[in-house]
Structure 1
Amino acid sequence: MIKTWRAALTALTAIAFATPAALAEPASFFQVEGVEYDPAVTVFEDHAGYEIGERVVGYEDLLGYVRYLAQASDRLIVNEIGRSHQGRPILKFTITSPENHARLDEIRAAHLARLRGDAPADAAPIVVWINYGVHGAETSSMDAAIPFLHHFAAARGEEIEETLANTVILATVTHNPDGHARRIDHVERFSSRVPVTDPAHEIHNLWGLARVNHYGFDLNRQWLLLTQPEAVAITTAWQSWKPMVTGDYHEMGHNSPYYFHPGVETRRNPLINVRARELTYEIARRHAAFMDSEARLYATQEVFDNFYIGKGSTYPQLSGSLGILFEAGAARGGQIMSEHGLVTNADNVRTQFRTALTTVQGALDIRDDLIAFQRDFFAENARQAARANAQAWVFTAPGDPERARRFVRLLRTHDIEVYAAARDIRASRGAYRAGESFIVPARQLQHRLIRGIFERFTEFEENVFYDVSGWTLPLAYNLQYDALPGGMFSPLPLGDLAEGAFQSAPAPDRAPYGYVFDWSHTFAPRALNRVLEAGLMARAAREPFTLVTTQGDREFGRGSVFVPLARQDQTPSQIHALMETIAREDGVPVAAAATGLTRNIGRDLGAWTVFRTLTAPKVVIAFDDGISWNDAGEMWWTLDHQHEMAVLLVPASRLARLDWTNYTHLILPGGNPSMDDATKDILSRWVRSGGTVIGARQGAQWAERRLLDIEAPEPARPENDSPLRLDFNQMQVRDAEHILAGAIFETDLDVTHPIGWGYGARKLPVNRNTAFTLTRPDDPFATPVQYAQNPLLSGYASRHRLEEIAGTPAVTVRRQGRGSVILFADNPVFRATYPGTERLLMNAIFFSSVMDGSRGLYEDEAELN
């Protein structure tokens, strides 16, 4: 076939790097033995101009080829289901016979009816999902889409026709296109004419940045959390079909053999059906048979768990699907030497392709069992809902309707029905007002997923977790929520089906004196940033007050922002236009102040002891040099994506070179920051002259040791105890007792402190996945957030860790000269899924200048009385 000029140019470029040692493989290497392929369907090397393994498969080459296959074959249809942060498409391929394509909507409807028990077993083909490319650094999990889609486009014969007639296969290419592109750039940057297989070579070192998406999020933790557009696209498409089997393709360390599920038997979420594991093992026999036929190393039923329900191989299991994890030992630079020989990407691609075929074939082989399992799964959901103590869940977010609506949007993406409360409800945790509250009935198709989201789990069969153990999302969102017991309502007071769309606030009146907005709204920080970036003066309230507005009296809490008309460089009309933007685009209600007098003695709008002037923050986020890109990315996403704030990203090693007079805040995320004494000295001087350091997790530890000169205490050791001796095979389980894999803890929040402004209740759920504790400041007012005495709300923490953490600081605020050091024991924006504690970070940024230190000497609590 005559190549296009682009393919020819690509081929010439490849020659520059190709050598006799390069392990390129022709298309025949990936094709199934004994299967005839249609020569009219062009193979990859003839389309792209190079073979898999000859060089890194470029993103445009991958997309160009798979789109070509959809044009060349009537068995494949491609749809763009979303876009990444950088605007790259996420593609979903539907693979089935032409006859099935002609009635695809009918087949989907019949499949969904069948799983509900409303259609016979033979109403539709079986439905299989193959998920390629969730981690950008995992080469073969993306490139395997090439032979997989070519096989179904070009294979001939009775067997392939029967497979296509009896299945609908859905395949994603790629789940994480931004990470994929970053990997390509890295590999091409370090490519050499002579391939280097030494694992120490930089070409193989691309795990962190290339694994994740644009903002540093691990998308394989996003199936439940849905803060990233890639995850929303994938989960929406998945839920629209509810496939019967889901294959999720990954890579791990290059010394590892190939792995496939089922995972460790004792590490299973209690909501997952045991039968799912049995059927997964039946399909695993097909993978094993292929691997055995070529005497390949492989493992199953070890290391990997099925507990956290937000991973691609576990999430499906709460929606009636089998979830199967596949992991290949990575050859990220193309080929790498491992302890069991040379590992090549081309060989990994072939294995990932062939186990996708055994997944499809295994599903066909146990078709009747799969259909029965899925029907029984959802029938059991109905039975569980009928027996459940809770007939529904009700939730609200007082003072912050956007946070409640965001939660509604998450639930709806999971195909969970949510209704507006038709009337006021009173339950154990308080009142739920109609118009502000939502109800999730327990009796619906996604009952088990609803339980996974709302229920709290603190006891487990085995305390070893591959990921976070506690994900009770209403706690993460800091929602007021309750289980409504059976018999409490008949029927439930359900209003309209809710979608949770963002809602603008009404446009404010023109103010004769100034404008005020409350700090409790999700996007109040975004609104304040607009004001400060516009060069306007804004003042924050240190105390609650009652404002006389153009529409009557209105209550405002601490942190509320007052924007006067006086002493501004902009006209009243310009200020009013900005307030209209805030109401429209941020959804923040803005009140027009009719007078500077309030209804509170000593709290008028001009009172300097009550209203403090704020300055525009100029924020630096440190990354690299030991700092976790995940943690840094979560901070970046929160400020940039959520609150539209300009953020300076700087490697930790370059911090000393900045002109710090231009910046107000430095965020040190988790990880292991590596900064020299010169950097420490520069930062210390900057803080004393008015700067603010915000440290989270290990960033807080670094700040305690280096900026505050606080030495970590040595762990207490019991005296005169005989040495402990344990059997070696207990080590993994016993080690887990000393690790916090991620749980939700209760804290006590001082709502009068600027860190607590915008909150209505003192009890605040927080994420906790570090074991260290912050040192308590001498200043009794400098610990605005403290862990409760019995802190565990959801997830696992050993008794030893609970005793260590109970009553210790969760957040400390220390004044250093004119500046502040604000430390978080953990990440307040963990995986961008803690809207409840996100405000702590925003308060630390916007209100650090008003966090005064005490001037008294308090030797004991009695002196405070």
Structure 2
Amino acid sequence: MRLSTLLFGFFTLLLSTSVYGQNPAEAEASMDYYLPQDVTYNSEIPTPEEVLGMVPGEWHVRHDQLVKYMEAVAEASDRITLHKFAETYEDRPLLYLTVTSASNQQNIEQIRKNHVALTNPERSEQLDTENMPIVMYWGYSIHGDESSGSNASLLVAYYLAAAQGKEIEQKLNNSVILLDPSLNPDGLNRFASWANTHKSENLVSDPNSLELNQRWPSGRTNHYWFDLNRDWMLVQHPESQGRIDNFHKWKPNILTDHHEMGTNSTFFFQPGIQSRTHPITPEQNQSLTKAIADYHAEKLDNQKRLYYSQESFDDFYYGKGSTYPDVNGGIGILFEQASSRGHAQESVHGVLKYPFTIKNQFLTSLSTWEASQNLRQEILNYQRSFFQESKRKGEQADIEGYVFGTSHDKARTHHFVEMLKRHKVKLYELAKNINADGESFQANSSFVIPSDQKQYKFVKALFERRTSFTDSLFYDVSAWTMPYAFNLPFAELEGRDYSDDLLGSKVDGVPELPQGEIVGGKSDYAYVFEWDEYYAPRALNRLQDADVRTKVASKPFTGVTANGTHRFDYGTVLVPVGPQSVDESDIYSLMKKAANEDGLTVYAVGTGMTPRGIDLGSGSFEDLEQPNVAVLAGEGASSYEVGEVWHLLDQRYDMTLTLFPPDRLSFADLSRYNVIVMVNGGYNSLSNGAVSNIKDWVQSGGTLITTKYANRWAERNDLANIEFVKEDNSKEDEKEVNPKPYAERDKARGAQYIGGAIFNAKLDLTHPLGYGYNDDEMTVFRNSTLFLQKAENPYATPLYYTEEPLASGYISEENLEELAGTASIIVSDTGRGRVISMTDNPNFRAFWYGTNKLFMNAIFFGQTIDGGSGN
């Protein structure tokens, strides 16, 4: 069956009298409803009903039940082995099943090694793909409230273990299936609890039902409310880190990613919109995806079910499960099933019952298996040619390598290296100091990535700065240039700039965070450390937690250390030994921990007198209060962005914060906090009493941090003295409006949306929000069209966009013109307090290490910003 047949089937179904074919309202949870009846089943393999006391779809499966069944089926079947490879933040086990024939199981490690060798251009030609098994990774419900996938995985596991017959055995011999039943255990469990708790004996399909309307933050995300389907490339969370390890351990040929979408939709499978496929993805990848699609179409046609393809979704951002394989020699396939969200829901096609949605996920798992058998050798050969071509392109590339790193922040450089090694990128320590592209790179703090390697295409995707596109619409972000995200100097090495003598020691495995040191040992007078290092906030918070008094330098100075004199910059933290209520030996222990665990270089000083600049007893050293942070967390706030702040403070900086329900604002005692964060969102539902309480709190000296559209609320309520850019339509009004085709309306609207791009900005390094940065040129991430005028007070705009702001990604010409020269951060005076307005999200998806410090500076040093410098 080819694509023309697929489309014919689609339009035929549109004309059918029953839109869904098999009536979704009549779907009932029973094994006979789900399972094919053309095979026999091994009675020694337990069914989900026998282990769990329910048939999939009767209730939403909890994660512990899912694990219980997978353990039971693995114990009963010689086709299956179970692997627990990591734990979630909530200590739930992450697991997958290796499914193949019993004979393959006896030789599984050699099968794996042979398969991985297919990705090695130096060995792959020696391998005969005719008799090699194909390897697939089937992943279910990375969004926890799109749970039909995980519930279908129970049926898939049973079918693979129990189905009998010559054809089944042949398929098992020819394939290895890595079955991941729950890509997001914490989210799945959160949603199952909601749906099951609100289920009625008589199913309620009313879309207004509480069962079908989760409360904030929903079950979509993981424990910290991150979308794990955006983390495949970023690998910031344990679920993703373990999964990427498995991916590269096996190098699967096909990866399936089972999702849900709106209730009134039907069923989608890839390929997506072709004009939005990333240019690095080979054409053969998409042609094979189309060939696989024919098998999904045939399976769903036979069941009289509606579906569509090549619409709505795309293959551009490489950080999704269905797209990450495309830059790693595999084929990613997205499935999207119309969601019942609970157990039944009314739709334009009638009542959609949960078993119906589960069966579609099960059916397309089987059609994937069927396609893999008939296309097996072609797909295996494609994998071999992908890596051969990737290495060949790298050998021939004008850019022969990339160099990156900074001597000012070992941790940021370390975390970038950590990310690269998780993706099996080959890189080396820089062997000698070099200057390239206007940047200086030191041998002890920089790294080199040669283009001549099999992961060249992936490396290119990480480093490219793309600003021209064939399509102006994107399902996700249009740019993710990684050195920009980490705010790391980097250069492309061409011609004479690159040579093999730049390559020092090869970096093997994921390295440990480099340690710092205490220069001068134990001090009887004071310690100082600079704010450059990424984990400096963690060290400072630990000191404050122990009641150690600390100060921050608002001016630079030169201090006398054991190694001679050293120039200390704005933002240097001073820890005097006396007067303190904490014993000096305890302070020294904390300094050692800052060096060993946080990577800081701590200087012991023996005198308060400095050769140049302020002395250590100067009033230009500002006293610091320990931040007591509340983050508004509830309806109206973006759960993603609340989660990003929560994760940053809790996981990275070991800080205690309060997730504060907005409905408590009108009566809660806010004096226990000195920092309140309002992330992107709409807060119009806050009562007059809540607004009054926040105003009184800020005017009494609090620091309010608002990001993105929370700034509109702050401006409307006279908390932030900011002005938004208003588009001048006067000239447009004078122009004649020409009619346009109706079919182009969505594209025209979408072209004005900034889905996610990277921009150049200018930072005031003398401002408290600029402490710890060493270059006034930086890049920031933006995914909104909120533009702020620079403040009238010339000292109140510490970060603003340059006149030529686009660094990487898509933005329309109109929006680019409006963005140029506007403010990224404005500080407002409100009584004795400060409101810090950030137009962008400095904590995006936990991988924007480069702008995290802006946010942490607002938390730690917002209190020190001089009152006369606010707007």
- Give TM class, smaller chain: over 0.9
* AA in 1 matched with 2:849: P
* AA in 1 matched with 2:76: A
SS at match of 1:266: helix
- Superimposed CA distance per residue, residues 293-312 of structure 1 (whole angstroms, 9 cap, x where no aligned partner): 11101010101011111001
* AA in 1 matched with 2:468: E
TM-score between the two structures when normalised by the length of structure 1: 0.94
Alignment-derived partner of residue 511 in structure 1: 523
Deviation at 1:819, TM superposition (A): 0.4
Alignment-derived partner of residue 192 in structure 2: 184
Closer, same or farther in 2 for the Cα pair 1:42/1:614, shift >3 Å?
A: same
Alignment-derived partner of residue 331 in structure 2: 322
1: CA distance, partners of 2:87 / 2:839: 35
RMSD across aligned C-alpha pairs, in angstroms?
Answer: 1.6
Alignment-derived partner of residue 626 in structure 1: 636
* AA in 2 matched with 1:171: L
1:645 aligns with 2:645: no
Deviation at 1:724, TM superposition (A): 4.3
SS at match of 1:657: coil
- Superimposed CA distance per residue, residues 643-702 of structure 1 (whole angstroms, 9 cap, x where no aligned partner): 011010012222222211110011001122232222111111111110011001111222
* AA in 2 matched with 1:833: F
* AA in 1 matched with 2:133: P
1: CA distance, partners of 2:711 / 2:870: 26
2: CA distance, partners of 1:502 / 1:124: 40
SS at match of 2:712: helix
Alignment-derived partner of residue 174 in structure 1: 182
* AA in 2 matched with 1:806: A
2: CA distance, partners of 1:830 / 1:284: 34
Closer, same or farther in 2 for the Cα pair 1:713/1:557, shift >3 Å?
A: closer
1:486-565 alignment to 2 at 5 Å? 486-498=495-507, 499-507=510-518, 509-565=521-577
Query: Is the CA contact (8 Å cut-off) linking 1:549 and 1:594 kept in structure 2?
Result: yes
TM-score between the two structures when normalised by the length of structure 2: 0.94
- Superimposed CA distance per residue, residues 583-617 of structure 1 (whole angstroms, 9 cap, x where no aligned partner): 2222222111121112214x111111x21110011
Query: Is the CA contact (8 Å cut-off) linking 1:749 and 1:764 kept in structure 2?
Result: yes
Alignment-derived partner of residue 41 in structure 2: 37
SS at match of 2:135: strand
Alignment-derived partner of residue 104 in structure 1: 108
1:450 aligns with 2:459: yes
* AA in 2 matched with 1:168: V
Query: Is the CA contact (8 Å cut-off) linking 2:722 and 2:788 kept in structure 1?
Result: no
Deviation at 1:571, TM superposition (A): 1.3
Alignment-derived partner of residue 775 in structure 2: 761
Alignment-derived partner of residue 18 in structure 2: none
1: CA distance, partners of 2:293 / 2:217: 30
Alignment coverage as a number of residue pairs: 835
Alignment-derived partner of residue 862 in structure 1: none
Alignment-derived partner of residue 12 in structure 1: none
1:343 aligns with 2:352: yes
* AA in 2 matched with 1:323: G
* AA in 2 matched with 1:756: G
- Superimposed CA distance per residue, residues 326-359 of structure 1 (whole angstroms, 9 cap, x where no aligned partner): 0000112111111111212212111101101111
Closer, same or farther in 2 for the Cα pair 1:775/1:687, shift >3 Å?
A: farther
Alignment-derived partner of residue 427 in structure 1: 436
- Superimposed CA distance per residue, residues 265-305 of structure 1 (whole angstroms, 9 cap, x where no aligned partner): 11111111111111101010000001111110101010101
Alignment-derived partner of residue 575 in structure 1: 587
1: CA distance, partners of 2:746 / 2:846: 30
Alignment-derived partner of residue 79 in structure 1: 83
Alignment-derived partner of residue 687 in structure 1: 698
Closer, same or farther in 2 for the Cα pair 1:809/1:712, shift >3 Å?
A: closer
Deviation at 1:314, TM superposition (A): 0.7
SS at match of 2:574: strand
Deviation at 1:33, TM superposition (A): 2.5
Closer, same or farther in 2 for the Cα pair 1:322/1:710, shift >3 Å?
A: same
Query: Is the CA contact (8 Å cut-off) linking 1:779 and 1:853 kept in structure 2?
Result: no
Deviation at 1:712, TM superposition (A): 4.8
Query: Is the CA contact (8 Å cut-off) linking 2:723 and 2:788 kept in structure 1?
Result: no
2: CA distance, partners of 1:81 / 1:856: 51
Deviation at 1:316, TM superposition (A): 0.6
Deviation at 1:31, TM superposition (A): 1.3
SS at match of 1:529: helix
Q: Percent identity?
A: 36
Alignment-derived partner of residue 806 in structure 1: 820
Alignment-derived partner of residue 11 in structure 1: none
1:54 aligns with 2:68: no
**Which stretches in structure 2 are left out of the alignment for 5+ residues?**
1-24
* AA in 1 matched with 2:690: T
1: CA distance, partners of 2:747 / 2:806: 20
SS at match of 1:94: strand
* AA in 2 matched with 1:732: D
SS at match of 1:778: coil
355, 366, 374: which one aligns with 1:357: 366
SS at match of 1:210: coil
- Superimposed CA distance per residue, residues 79-111 of structure 1 (whole angstroms, 9 cap, x where no aligned partner): 111111111111111111122112222111111
Deviation at 1:816, TM superposition (A): 1.3
1:277 aligns with 2:281: no
Deviation at 1:398, TM superposition (A): 2.9
Query: Is the CA contact (8 Å cut-off) linking 1:219 and 1:231 kept in structure 2?
Result: yes
* AA in 2 matched with 1:300: S
2: CA distance, partners of 1:378 / 1:54: 45
Closer, same or farther in 2 for the Cα pair 1:208/1:284, shift >3 Å?
A: farther
1:636 aligns with 2:646: yes
Deviation at 1:514, TM superposition (A): 0.9
Alignment-derived partner of residue 600 in structure 1: 612
* AA in 1 matched with 2:378: D
1: CA distance, partners of 2:739 / 2:796: 42
SS at match of 1:236: helix
1:303 aligns with 2:312: yes
1:64 aligns with 2:68: yes
Query: Is the CA contact (8 Å cut-off) linking 1:114 and 1:120 kept in structure 2?
Result: no
* AA in 2 matched with 1:741: G
2: CA distance, partners of 1:332 / 1:625: 19
1:356-375 alignment to 2 at 5 Å? 356-375=365-384
SS at match of 2:275: coil
2: CA distance, partners of 1:650 / 1:494: 50
1:666 aligns with 2:670: no
* AA in 2 matched with 1:697: K
1:616 aligns with 2:630: no
Query: Is the CA contact (8 Å cut-off) linking 1:507 and 1:584 kept in structure 2?
Result: no
1:109-188 alignment to 2 at 5 Å? 109-116=113-120, 117-118=124-125, 119-122=127-130, 124-188=132-196
Range that drifts further, 416-425 or 717-726: 717-726
